[in-house]
A and B are shown apart, each in its own frame.
Chain A
Amino acid sequence: AQTVTQSQPEMSVQEAETVTLSCTYDTSESNYYLFWYKQPPSRQMILVIRQEAYKQQNATENRFSVNFQKAAKSFSLKISDSQLGDTAMYFCAFMKVSGTYKYIFGTGTRLKVLA
């Protein structure tokens, strides 16, 4: 069975600094997708970034980038130049694609950006 673990329930970072949120997963699959979602105080869930497991290159979206370590089953999110608007709950998610798909969310990391 697949699992997703976010070991940091809460984190804080000073505005303009860089922060890394960790996510580990467990699977026996070789092909899968990984995602990070952001849920700000407005509660809207927003897709931040997506990584395909068979691609070695780490995905980036503006100030957001991932460090994907397939062998270690690690998928961390780096936020550069943190802004107050980055304050949110961040969820890591895993998607199994072979056979019937399965989508699993982690429990989330609450990030607070400090002025």
Chain B
Amino acid sequence: DSGVTQTPKHLITATGQRVTLRCSPRSGDLSVYWYQQSLDQGLQFLIHYYNGEERAKGNILERFSAQQFPDLHSELNLSSLELGDSALYFCASSEREGPYYGYTFGSGTRLTVV
């Protein structure tokens, strides 16, 4: 157990729907990062929050949004889902405002859009 908790582990939904993925960082970590891993795209950085504030943005679609709450948990919202959004979504955390000592990853949420 890495200490980073992601829920749900699996999600199956229809095109056009909206889902929310949840992440609780490891105790003491202030940064939360979201990554998307699909078969043909490798690991794609989506967004980074540090202590409630957005710090960096990657290849995140406008249909996707995220936030980090005062208790440091984070949610990734995916809307108007398309088949191509099917992927493994990872949350990771780190203590500092950047992953200088590496990421601690959660076990991921497998999203399947049908």
Nearest chain B CB to A41 CB, angstrom units: 12
Q: Which B residues touch A91, using CB under 8 A?
A: 43
Q: Which A residues touch B108, using CB under 8 A?
A: 43-44
Query: Among B22-30, B69-77, B78-86, B97-105, which stretch is in contact with chain A?
Result: B97-105
The answer to whether the Cβ of A64 comes within 8 Å of any Cβ in the partner chain is no
A44–B101 touching, CB < 8 Å: no
Nearest chain B CB to A68 CB, angstrom units: 16
The answer to whether the Cβ of A100 comes within 8 Å of any Cβ in the partner chain is yes
Q: How far is the CA of A83 from the CA of B67 in the complex (A)?
A: 40
Task: Assess A43 versus B102: contact at CB under 8 Å? Given A103-B45, A107-B42.
Answer: no
The answer to whether the Cβ of A16 comes within 8 Å of any Cβ in the partner chain is no
A47–B100 touching, CB < 8 Å: no
* Candidates A95, A100, A105; contact of B100 at CB < 8 Å: A95
A100–B101 touching, CB < 8 Å: no
Q: How far is the CA of A44 from the CA of B104 in the complex (A)?
A: 10
The answer to whether the Cβ of B2 comes within 8 Å of any Cβ in the partner chain is yes
* Candidates B90, B99, B105; contact of A103 at CB < 8 Å: B99
The answer to whether the Cβ of B111 comes within 8 Å of any Cβ in the partner chain is no
A108–B42 touching, CB < 8 Å: yes
B99–A95 touching, CB < 8 Å: yes
Nearest chain B CB to A73 CB, angstrom units: 20
The answer to whether the Cβ of B7 comes within 8 Å of any Cβ in the partner chain is no
A interface residues with partner B (beta carbon < 8 Å): 33, 35, 37, 42-47, 50, 91, 95, 97, 100-101, 103, 105, 107-108
Given contacts A45-B103, A46-B105, A100-B56, 11 further A-B contacts (CB under 8 A): A43-B108, A44-B107, A44-B108, A45-B90, A46-B2, A47-B103, A50-B102, A97-B100, A101-B99, A103-B45, A108-B42
Nearest 4 Cβ contacts at the A-B interface:
A45-B105, A101-B98, A47-B102, A105-B43
B interface residues with partner A (beta carbon < 8 Å): 2, 42-43, 45, 56, 88, 90, 92, 98-105, 107-108, 110
